[in-house]
Amino acid sequence: MILDRLTALFLVVFCLNGFVFTQQDLTAAEGRKLDLKADKAYTHVIEPILVNNCTGCHGADKAKGKIRLHTPEEITKSESIIADGAGDIPMIFRVNLPDDDEEVMPPESKPRLSAEQKKLLGWWVSQGADFEKTISELSVPDDINVILTGLSYSEPKQIVIKKAFSLPEPAGAADAAAVAAIEKSGALIMPLAQDTKYLSVNAINVAKSFNDEKVKLLVPVKGHLTWLDVSRSAVTDGAAGDISQLTMLTKLHLENTAVTDNALQQFGKLSKLEYLNLYGTDVSDAGLEHLKNLKNLKKLYVWQTGVTEAGVNKLKEAIPGLYVNTGWKAPEEKPPEAKK
Ligand code: HEC
């Protein structure tokens, strides 16, 4: 029962997020080089292949062919990594079928796995399909080594999202009158997903008229409001006190508003915040100082602000793993005559 709810939440949130993030996070696809010593074979090599190619049909939401492949437990349960009666290992057998075979995975209508991806899956299974070992703990033949060396890793999306939604479900629904008042303001207020009482509010359609006064309407739903988009709105530092009460926020869009460091000064209580967009605002390094305790923050957008590289680095020190988008180009070299 609990599991069902979790998986349902996980799936809808994933869908929503797929939508939202493809719009916002143009840089999210960026990867890093694989660390052949420390990275794990499953987590860093295999899971991304499965998440990107298989778990849409064999995952939390769907179990095509009655199997799911989105967690180690489910993969094991699926029996797709152990030899069947004919001696074939279903996962490997299916992905290696000819492209026009009726049984090929992913099915014919979907993008094929690359030759490299097929080889990596085969290698991992041949090494015991272990979920914990690092690459270096397995035997890595030359051809696999070549592939791994050229591979980059970026966290598969579903994993990021699952973490975002470890929030406990609110006990009851948000106050209906409060929701109606927000609707009346013209902002879009919606359940974040089918199976949750969490809400998202988006003021994009009424950005010009959505001001500090309107933000006050959000406070009565603070136990439910987890995504807020007031980008390009008339919101100013005057709303910061009210925003700081919205402590269930995981995602906050303030880009292209008049907010400054003074607003950030009040954001220390938004401890669940994972995504903060301040693009095109007047914030600076001094403002970032106030974000240091937001330990859940994963993505920060400060493109076209007063923030400098030094400020970013300081914040990254305080919040390990934080991704900061500055939109910076390579630092300009000063023309020689400018040096004295
Ligand atoms: C578009 C949906 C879709 C995608 C994407 C997809 N599959 Fe499937 N898969 C199916 C369907 C439908 C079946 C059941 C019909 C069949 O057996 O061909 C199936 C069956 C399977 C089976 C056999 C299950 C059993 O025991 O009968 C395996 C193994 C499998 N898929 C692995 C994969 C792998 C690995 C990937 C990614 C590389 C993948 N699938 C991607 C739809 C999908």
Q: What CATH number should be reported for the domain holding residue 204?
A: 3.80.10.10
Given this model, what pLDDT does residue 194 score?
Answer: 65
Whether the per-residue pLDDT at 217 is higher than 90: the answer is: yes
Average confidence (pLDDT) over 293-300: 94
- 169 confidence band (pLDDT: 50, 70, 90): confident
pTM of the model: 0.50
Average confidence (pLDDT) over 11-16: 43
In this structure, the answer to whether residues 253 and 300 fall within a common structural domain is yes
Taking the centre of ligand 1 as the mean of its atom positions, its distance from the CA of residue 236, in whole angstroms, is 51
Residues flanking ligand 1, CB < 6 Å? 53-54, 56-58, 64-65, 67, 80, 90-91, 94-95, 103, 105-107, 110, 113
Nearest CA to ligand 1 atom 26: 65
Whether the per-residue pLDDT at 193 is higher than 80: the answer is: no
Give domain status of residue 67, yes or no: yes
Average confidence (pLDDT) over 1-16: 44
Retrieve residue 336's tokens. 């020689």
Taking the centre of ligand 1 as the mean of its atom positions, its distance from the CA of residue 64, in whole angstroms, is 6
In this structure, the answer to whether residues 189 and 96 fall within a common structural domain is no
The set of long-range contacts for 261-266, using a CB threshold of 8 Å and a minimum separation of 24, is 261/286, 261/287, 261/290, 262/237, 263/236, 263/237, 263/239, 263/287, 264/240, 264/288, 264/290, 264/291, 265/240, 265/290, 266/240, 266/241, 266/290
The percent of residues in the chain predicted with pLDDT above 90, rounded, is 72
Residue of 42, 47, 51, 57 with the most ligand 1 atoms within 8 Å of its CB, for mutation: 57
Domain of 110 in residue numbering reads as 9-153
Given this model, what pLDDT does residue 89 score?
Answer: 96
- 157 confidence band (pLDDT: 50, 70, 90): low
Backbone angles phi, psi at 191, to 5 degrees: -60, 145
In this structure, the answer to whether residues 91 and 194 fall within a common structural domain is no
Which residues does residue 188 pair with via DSSP β-bridges, in sequence order? 202
Instruction: State the amino acid at position 149 in one-letter form.
Output: T
In this structure, the answer to whether residues 148 and 207 fall within a common structural domain is no
In this structure, the answer to whether residues 267 and 304 fall within a common structural domain is yes
What's the domain count of the chain?
2
Retrieve residue 186's tokens. 């013209």
Within 10 angstroms of residue 126's Cβ, the number of other Cβ atoms is 14
Taking the centre of ligand 1 as the mean of its atom positions, its distance from the CA of residue 256, in whole angstroms, is 44
CA distance 49 to 228: 32
Listed in sequence order, the residues at least 6 apart from 63 whose beta carbon sits closer than 8 Å to its beta carbon are: none
- Let me know: does 89 contact 83? Beta carbons within 8 Å: yes
